[in-house]
Structure 1
Amino acid sequence: MIVRYLLEDDYETWNHFVEQSPQGFIWDYSWWLEIVTDGDYKICALFDDDNLIVAGISLPFFSTGTIRQPLLTQSLGMLYEDMSKHNNMRLQKQLTNQKEYSNQIIDFVLNDFKRFSICFNYNYDYWLPLYWKGFKQTTRYTYVIDYSNYVLEEEFKRFSKGHKWVLNKVEKKSDLKVIKVDDVEEYLRESDKTYQRQGVNKPYSNDIVRRLYKEIMNRQMGTLLKIIDGKNQTHAIAFYLHNDREAYYWLGASDEKLRDSGGHTYLTWYAIRYFADKVRFFNFGGSMIEHVERNFRNFSAIPRQFFTIQYGFDTAWEECKKAIKKLLRKA
């Protein structure tokens, strides 16, 4: 086996590998990394004896010496080949391969950065090889719907009472309707309003969203939905990313003044039904914020763990700095 950094000529091969990897998604593509890092990234891949990629990892902001999560990108981390396609490969053998692949890649790249902090895909669930290399992890959560055993009518019955009441109200007693949007500027206008109402700075630039939108839509990997009333007021708008396997709730905005209409909740329910016959999984995107997590949980979705994995950070000092910043803000 050979491990090396990829050249630009290798990126088409890498993108094909991302498509079949259980840990791969849209943000692992080279074109996504190019935009969100402004070209400052490396991809390290492990090739087998047939010159096929069997594992790899993206390293955003490589030149800085600190590998960190780009904005607008939920997960990156280690990707493996789909070992389930190997006839009757035992779990023990799969884990052994993952350990071997991970060790070869990490040994190759470890001297090229000082610090590392990346969220890994929720299908990366065996992080011991990195633990043995001195990495640390923090467990986070997302919520996922698996459509293979998800009957819409039956699952609706399992929603929280509050969600069922809101959804029935919108369905039967309101003039709200969901429509597709084909202009990213509509989302950007609504998101600008949301951040202005909250009195906080937008954490990403509109230009990056525009550039990503162009690439996403050219590849038919995005859907924008909004919910409006009879006066053409936008109650909520949401941007979903999707490939053949999974739909992901990427970006959203809503009008706080119209929040009581239930439009935001109904838009999510509409999206769940919309993607039911198009993908295998619906990913809510994850949140460690209590009221956001409760909203996802109330849709009868499955909690899935994923890891923020770090190297080179003094975790105790980082927590101390956060506590100090919090106290200063209160002061």
Structure 2
Amino acid sequence: MSTVKYFQHHQIDKEKWDTCIEQSPQAVIYAYAFYLDIVSPFWEAIIEEENGNYLTIMPLTWRKKYGITFLHQPIFCQQLGLFSTEKEVGIEKIEQFLQIVLEIYSFVPRYQWNVHNTCIFKNLESIFIQQLGNKNFTFFTTHHLALSRPYSMIYQNYSKDRKINLKRAEKANLEIVESEDIEPLLAMFKKDIAQKLPKGVAPNAYELFRKIFKALKVRKWCKLFYTKNTKGEIRAGALFVFYQNQIIYLFNACYQETRKENGRTLLIDYIIQSYANSDYIFDFESPEIEQIAYFYKSFGAEEIPYPAFINYNHLPFWVNALWEVKKYFQ
């Protein structure tokens, strides 16, 4: 008989954990132990175990601030949630996991489940709204492009603007080169993109990404490409993750002055051409930004929803009041 329990970090058998992820239909790179160790070093979990094997698991990526421990979504980690070796996860099990989560955490600013959890959540939406409240349960969207057709057929579904911009990129005489040096990509992002983000970029984000890149490279799960001009100068770059049948557009950047060259369009199209007529799904890993979503849809990608908890706050009134005071004096 299986048991479902909360596990602290030191209690988790990471070999069993990764075996469960590998055998799970919901498998994503973000949920592997090595990845969680980088983005949330002391992550914990809820685990269903039977005969020493992990059947269903849920990573708990927590932080602590002002003495309050809360569940949150780490940077560079779009989707977590439930992962199971079973083909279908029953309603009772979902409710059991959710109950344990809410017993542990009174505060969940944001926690994102994976796209394969969507059907479960849509079927049980009323239950989650009852448990969490209408304002604390929502669906976000990423974009997927199936590469199962020939490139010519995929290209037909590019928008008119995307086709025009691809031709501009080709006329710019850009060369696509594969690299193992992540620093130019981070430098481009830091110079011309980071400052435009509403909340900026955490000081440790760049070092975290270096660790992620190194770990993915060791496993041969990623490819890094740049565009260069005729002078050999780097103009744009992108890191693509290859795992099972997924290609994830994990990170990209270009200089402000090179945007009109459409180097990133060229890189995405290059990957689509290279892996067309295959079982791969290209995951654009979309943020909730309309302009970026429009760009991804211009390649013919379709919207794929995934569930999320947001702004769940059952902390005592006096704790919230003290927190607001501390934020005011920061």
TM-score range, shorter chain: 0.7 to 0.9
1:115 and 2:102 are equivalent in the alignment: no
Equivalent residue letter for 1:13: K
Structure 1 partner of 2:54: 53
> Conserved in 2, the CA contact under 8 Å of 1:3 and 1:108?
no
Equivalent residue letter for 1:292: I
Distance apart, 1:174 and its partner CA: 3.1
1:67 and 2:71 are equivalent in the alignment: yes
Q: What is the aligned length?
A: 298
SS of corresponding position for 2:267? helix
> Conserved in 2, the CA contact under 8 Å of 1:141 and 1:303?
yes
Structure 1 partner of 2:152: 153
SS of corresponding position for 1:133? helix
Structure 2: distance between partners of 1:115 and 1:14? 26
Structure 2 partner of 1:250: 250
Structure 2: distance between partners of 1:140 and 1:287? 9
Distance apart, 1:59 and its partner CA: 0.6
Structure 1 residues 295 and 109: alpha-carbon distance in aligned structure 2, compared to 1, 3 A threshold: closer
Distance apart, 1:78 and its partner CA: 1.7
SS of corresponding position for 1:123? helix
How far does the alpha carbon of each residue in 1:142-200 deviate from its partner, in whole angstroms, 9 at most, with x for none? 1101223x3211120121111112223433x3311111110122222222222366487
Structure 2 partner of 1:86: none
Structure 2: distance between partners of 1:305 and 1:228? 35
> Conserved in 2, the CA contact under 8 Å of 1:102 and 1:130?
no
Structure 2: distance between partners of 1:218 and 1:241? 12
Q: How does 1:307-326 map to 2 (within 5 A)?
A: 307-310=307-310, 312-313=312-313
Structure 2: distance between partners of 1:297 and 1:251? 17
How far does the alpha carbon of each residue in 1:112-162 deviate from its partner, in whole angstroms, 9 at most, with x for none? 2212231111111111254453364222111101223x3211120121111
Structure 2: distance between partners of 1:17 and 1:213? 23
> Conserved in 2, the CA contact under 8 Å of 1:134 and 1:311?
no
Equivalent residue letter for 1:296: Y
Structure 2: distance between partners of 1:176 and 1:193? 21
Distance apart, 1:82 and its partner CA: 4.5
SS of corresponding position for 1:286? coil
SS of corresponding position for 2:176? strand
Structure 1 residues 62 and 15: alpha-carbon distance in aligned structure 2, compared to 1, 3 A threshold: farther
- TM-score, scaled to structure 2: 0.82
How far does the alpha carbon of each residue in 1:235-269 deviate from its partner, in whole angstroms, 9 at most, with x for none? 21111222122111111111111111122211111
How far does the alpha carbon of each residue in 1:284-323 deviate from its partner, in whole angstroms, 9 at most, with x for none? 0113212111111110111111122247337xxxxxxxxx
Structure 1 residues 199 and 20: alpha-carbon distance in aligned structure 2, compared to 1, 3 A threshold: closer
Structure 1 partner of 2:26: 23
- TM-score, scaled to structure 1: 0.82
> Conserved in 2, the CA contact under 8 Å of 1:244 and 1:278?
no
Distance apart, 1:107 and its partner CA: 3.2
- Which of 26, 32, 43 is the equivalent residue of 1:41? 43
Structure 1 residues 40 and 196: alpha-carbon distance in aligned structure 2, compared to 1, 3 A threshold: closer
Distance apart, 1:271 and its partner CA: 2.1
SS of corresponding position for 2:132? coil
SS of corresponding position for 2:313? coil
> Conserved in 1, the CA contact under 8 Å of 2:73 and 2:111?
yes
The farther-off stretch of 127-136 and 110-119 is: 127-136
> Conserved in 2, the CA contact under 8 Å of 1:80 and 1:98?
no
SS of corresponding position for 2:90? helix
Give ranges in structure 2 of 5+ residues lacking alignment.
315-330
Equivalent residue letter for 1:68: H
Structure 1 residues 181 and 143: alpha-carbon distance in aligned structure 2, compared to 1, 3 A threshold: same
How far does the alpha carbon of each residue in 1:39-61 deviate from its partner, in whole angstroms, 9 at most, with x for none? 2210211124x443221111111
RMSD, matched Cα: 2.4
Structure 1: distance between partners of 2:161 and 2:288? 21
